[in-house]
Amino acid sequence: MIESDRLALLKGEAEIEIVNTPSASGKGQEIVRCTNCRVALWSHYPSAGRLISFVRVGTLDEPSSLPPDIHIFTSTKLKWVVFPPDVPVVETYYEREEIWSKESLARRAALQPAVERYQEELAKRGLSQS
C-alpha cells in the first residue's frame, strides 16, 4: 500500500486500464491492469479511492525486498497454504496500530485529511463508501 502520488510505472510503455471488480464487501474495487499483458498492477479500494494504491508485489523489480508484514483474510486459504511463523496471520482484517510501524502510521495520518475530503465529496453525491 502506498500513496498514489508516490507511484510510477518505471519500465516499459505500459498503458493501463481500470477494471471495476466486485468484492465480498459489496463495495468493489478498481483493479489497474496493463493493457498489453493484462497483469494486475495495483488496486484502489472505495474507502480512499485513488488516493492510495495497493500494489501487487510481484510486479516490482525486487519483490523479495518487500516481504509481507501480515497475512490477512486467510479464512478462505487452501489447506496446503503454509504461512511463515514469524509473520502475523489473521482470518479477516486487523488493527493497523498493532501492526504498522510508526512511520507508516504517520504517513497514513498525513493522508487522512485528503481521504476525509474524498469521503465527504462522495457523501454529498450520495455515494458514501466508508
Q: What is the pLDDT of residue 23?
A: 82
The angle subtended at Cα 38 by Cα 46 and Cα 56, nearest 5°, is 50
How much is the average pLDDT of 85-99? 92
- What lies within 8 Å, CB to CB, of 41 at 6+ separation is 9, 14, 16, 32, 33, 34, 55, 56, 59
User: Model confidence over 94-110: pLDDT tens digits?
Assistant: 899 999 999 999 999 99
Q: Give 83 or 16, the one with higher predicted confidence.
A: 83
How much is the average pLDDT of 104-120? 93
Domain ranges of the chain: 1-63, 67-125
User: Model confidence over 12-47: pLDDT tens digits?
Assistant: 666 889 999 998 778 889 999 988 888 999 999 988
Q: What is the pLDDT of residue 129?
A: 60
User: Model confidence over 44-58: pLDDT tens digits?
Assistant: 998 898 999 999 999
Reported pTM: 0.80
Percent with pLDDT over 70 in the chain: 95
